[in-house]
Each structure stands twice: as C-alpha cells, then as structure tokens.
Chains A and B, each alone.
Chain A
C-alpha cells in the first residue's frame, strides 16, 4: 500500500499572548506578562495556556477541567471578551496582534486567571436551584414536549460565570444576583413540574433582583452555550409583573 496519501501538515504560526499575572505572595499589583508560542491552526487558547505552563513558565495558574466546553471552569477574558479558553480557536482571533488573556471581571482574583467564585455560587444558591414538587407520584412526573421546550434554553447553563462577569451592573454592584442566577431561576420558574415558581419570583423581585438588569446584552454575547440570557431575564420580569410564570 504505497499510494497512501500523506496527511497534510497542519499550518502553524507564532502567536503572542499577553497574560494578566497576579500573585498575592509576590506583589499586591497585577501586571501583564508576554509570551510567544508556536501554535497550530487547530489549537485553542487553552492549548496555548498549557504550552506556556508546561514549557515556559510553570507558575502560570488557571482553572480547567474537561477542556471541552462542558464543565465551565476556564471562562477568561480573551481580547476583552468573556469566553471559554477551551472553545476559542486561536486562528479565529487576530493572530497578527497580541492576544490578551485576563481573569473574568467583578469577582476577586486569587491568582493569575483564577477568581473566587463563591459570590457567584451564593447568588445561584439563593434562587433555590432545585425542583420543588410535593406530590408523590408512583412513576416519573410526566411533561409534554411543549412544556419541556418552554425552558429548554436555560437548561444549557454550565455555570461558567461568563455572563455574570460580563455584566456592567455586576461589576459595580456585587450584590446583584447576576444573569447566571436568573437564568437558573428561569429554568425552574417555567418548569411545569415545579411548585415554587412564586417563591423564586419573590426572591428575584428584590432590590438586587431582575430590575437591576439594564438589557445591555453583554451576557447574551458572552454565553459560550448560546443561551439567550437577556431574553430569559426579560421573561422573568414579565412573570413577576403577571404574578405567575
């Protein structure tokens, strides 16, 4: 079998990355550090971060788990926009200029690209993100495809915090529930099997609830799962005005 075609080589290029570094044990100030790496067109920003960590600077710190856009650990701000490092191909960015990578905004930075996610999770916990149903059916609770479709979009959330930390209201008002918590409330408010929609609507009808939203659409643009976040928030607002889902 000599006529097997050789697999074409994947084109490679050198790319400059400027990464926001912060180490509280060394300095109180964060600073930019530049790296140059040889990357392939099939590589993602996460691969570049790995390459830097493994080959150039082992002190670079960032979160990642599944590395395939499912776990939501590696949300970072790339070229000023919140994205998942594992879902952003380097070739899709402008490789002729330096690519900036910094931690997501509005949450306290712990080290380099790692932020304290606790305030984010607290807002999520506050909306009771679990099904509340008091009946005890013999079998599973049935739901029509139409009823399931009602909240399908908001089931896609992976809690990466890309939306909440792209929200200008959240940047200055850390008490605001934020888009992600509202999206996850939406997922239960519009679930026909759930019985506590009114409680959740009441929780979000707060000074720091849905009314803080100013429909800037940053969250919708930032969502790596393509959830129509601003639309979900608007639906929750309407449900509060109606007094029911």
Chain B
C-alpha cells in the first residue's frame, strides 16, 4: 500500500505594493508628530499672548499671513485627516461583512477625506487676510499698511 502524501501548499502570491505595511507605518509616524503639532498649536493659541481672548479673525489671519504657520496648519490637516481616515477604515473593515458595502464605505470615506484635504489646503494657501470690504477694526494690524500703500 502506498502512502498518499498531501500536496504541499503552493506559496501565497505576494501583491506588488503592500499598502498595509505603509498604512501601519504611517499611523506610527504620524501619531507622535501630531502630538507635537497639536499641542504646540493649542499652546500658541491659548496660552501665549492674551490667551483665549486673542482668538478672532485678525488673529487667524495674522497667523496665516506667515508661511511658517501656513505649513504648520497644512501639516496638521494632512496628517490628522489621513490618520483619522486610516483609523475609520479599520473600523469599517471590522464591522462590515459584505464586501460590496465595505468597498462602498471605504470609497466614500477616502472621497470625503480627499475633498476635505483639498478644501483645507486651498483655504490655507489662498486665504486673504485683508478682505477689502471688511470693517478695518476686525482685520490684522498690517492690513492698514497694505491698504495705504
């Protein structure tokens, strides 16, 4: 009697790009970065200068006139939205059992997140700190100099 040997497993096929690894890495790198970015943001806005009372249109406009704070806020926006989207994607993968519904939900999630990232970036870089028809009292101090020149 001959012994029947099970057919050895054929190795699993490796996909060309493995996004799971990069997703995992992204979460680990963006997490600590976000802690630094967000807490510095909160500290600068609420604890330095006049604290919470200083926050108005002029304060935000003043910050966004400086490329440093523009890039700071854009970095926060991108890192936080992608971080959150990846997290939500995990929740969707956990709780949806139908593949079609899963694809639809993850697709919607990325579209919404992509739109928010685009809109946010557009606002930060095309922001006009001195809208011509506004009450000058509400605008940052440097607007007067620009208006008179």
Q: Is the CB of A206 within 8 A of B94?
A: no
Interface pair A214/B90, CB less than 8 Å apart: yes
> What separation, in Å, do the CA atoms of A209 and B25 have in the docked complex?
14
In angstroms, Cα B25 to Cα A17, docked, is 46
Partner of B94, one of A169, A199, A237: A169
Residues of A within 8 A of B23 (CB): 211
B14 touches A206 (CB 8 A): yes
> Is the C-beta of B68 less than 8 angstroms from some C-beta in chain A?
no
- Partner pick for B24 among A168, A199, A237, CB 8 A cutoff: A237
Q: Given A126-B12, A172-B95, A214-B90, A206 and B18 touching (CB < 8 A)?
A: yes
Q: Report the interface size for chain A: residues with CB under 8 A from the other chain.
A: 20
Interface string of A165-177 (1 = CB under 8 A from B): 0001100110000
How far apart are the CA atoms of A212 and B89 in the complex, in Å?
12
Asked whether, in the complex, the Cβ of A206 is within 8 Å of the Cβ of B15, the reply is yes
| CB of A125 within 8 Å of the partner chain | yes
In terms of DSSP, what is the predominant structure of the interface of chain B? helix
Q: What is the chain B residue whose CB lies nearest that of A213?
A: B24
Q: Known contacts A126-B9, A203-B12, A206-B15; is A212 also within 8 Å of B94 by CB?
A: no
In this complex, the interface size class of chain B, counting residues with CB under 8 Å from chain A, is 10 to 19
**In terms of DSSP, what is the predominant structure of the interface of chain A?**
helix
Contacts known (A172-B93, A172-B94); A125 close to B21, Cβ less than 8 A: no
Task: State whether the Cβ of B66 lies closer than 8 Å to any Cβ in chain A.
Answer: no
In the bound complex, CA of A166 to CA of B95 (Å): 16
Contact of B21 among A172, A214, A240 (CB under 8 A): A240
A110 to B24, CA, bound (A): 36
CB neighbors of A among B96-142 (8 A): 97
Name the CB-closest residue of B to A172. B94
Q: Is A68 an interface residue (CB 8 A)?
A: no
Q: Which residue of the partner chain A has the closest CB to B20?
A: A211
In the complex, which residue of chain A has the Cβ closest to the Cβ of B23?
A211
Task: Answer whether residue B49 sits at the interface, using C-beta atoms and an 8 A cutoff.
Answer: no
16 A-B residue contacts at CB 8 Å?
A125-B9, A172-B94, A172-B95, A172-B97, A173-B93, A199-B11, A202-B14, A203-B12, A203-B14, A205-B14, A205-B21, A206-B20, A207-B15, A207-B18, A207-B19, A237-B24
Contacts from A to B (Cβ < 8 Å)? 125-126, 128, 168-169, 172-173, 199, 202-203, 205-207, 209, 211-212, 214, 237, 240-241
The 10 A-B residue pairs with the shortest CB-CB distance in the complex, in nearest-first order: A211-B20, A211-B24, A125-B9, A207-B20, A172-B94, A211-B21, A203-B12, A205-B18, A202-B14, A205-B21
